[in-house]
Copies of this chain bind each other. A is one copy, B any other.
């Protein structure tokens, strides 16, 4: 399902930056940036098997090892694919094609790699140019993100039919992921988080053998990748009749989230949108228990630009996709987080998440 010339168009846009800044070319090593510019697939967290050189003249090369060649060969069409010989090094091969003044990703190139590269190149920071490009989606990317989110919505719908008191967090995860795969998840956007009861305050709590019941909440934060693009959602449900305070917290979080969903629009700074949600939580006296930002961009990576947090000075623009995920976490008691993903439109925003936010008791 590749659009002819799509990557060529992105490469040319990026090339414009390279030219305007007087570089001979740019080195791209971040897997997500390489995917954005070429469609070359990657495994999250793996690195080192390939690099992309974008030249000011338009002679771009994706240099890969034998490990990634076959798949790249079938999928990458808009850039010359170079397979290095067995024993050859990627960066040795780069020398054969790259010019002297080289743009580089200063947030991804390690300090040791930079020390090695500076022997051969005059290095120029790319200043997050690719990440900024990625923050503004095109219609094709939004379609993929929606496809990814719809798969997650359908899977939660199906999995929830078997949820019941006494299940463990791991059993909940097993049912959820089984359905995510069946709905088309080629991989997970990040490690599935399932945190119940007192563990609900673990913002990054991974599932355990802990059984859930007696009115405990279960925070489920998960996402998948479909056609290379991530989804990200959180729902908090209850196993058994919830305590009154948890019901109240749930309502405050939901009210805060819905206010932010209504308020989101282009021209608003990330920190202003964060403040809309935070003000409500603070107003109800829970301010100290909302210890993270309201949201983040989603795309090829599950966390990308733009940020929606108290320090985010950048304005939202149409075609941004961001999460809106306020939470309240009270030590010993538990936590509630509710997260939707929205598209910033010309006039406001559109919610890409379909699953109900009514308080659900299993």
Contact = CB atoms under 8 A, between A and B. Distances in A.
A27 B335 CA distance: 32
Interface string A160-187: 0000000000110111011101101111
Contact of A71 (B125, B205, B292): B205
How many copies of the chain does the oligomer comprise? 2
Interface stretch (A3-11, A108-116, A245-253, A312-320): A108-116
B171 A177 contact: no
Interface residues of A, number: 63
Contacts of A173: 181
A297 to B, nearest CB: 15
Interface in A184-198: 184-188, 190-193
A65 B291 contact: yes
Contact of A42 (B44, B125, B186, B204): B204
A86 B302 CA distance: 23
A143 to B, nearest CB: 17
A345 interface: no
Interface stretch (A92-100, A206-214, A350-358): A206-214
Contacts of A170: 181-182, 184-186
A44 B171 contact: no
Nearest to A178: B178
A310 interface: yes
A44 B190 CA distance: 8
A31 to B, nearest CB: 11
Interface string A40-79: 0111111000000000000000000111111100000000
Contacts of A207: 181, 186
B112 A125 contact: yes
A310 to B, nearest CB: 6
Nearest to A74: B202
A203 to B, nearest CB: 5
A170 B226 CA distance: 12
A346 interface: no
A106 interface: yes
21 contacts: A41-B204, A41-B206, A44-B45, A44-B190, A45-B190, A46-B204, A67-B203, A67-B292, A69-B291, A71-B201, A71-B204, A87-B310, A106-B110, A106-B111, A112-B125, A170-B181, A171-B181, A177-B178, A186-B206, A187-B192, A187-B206
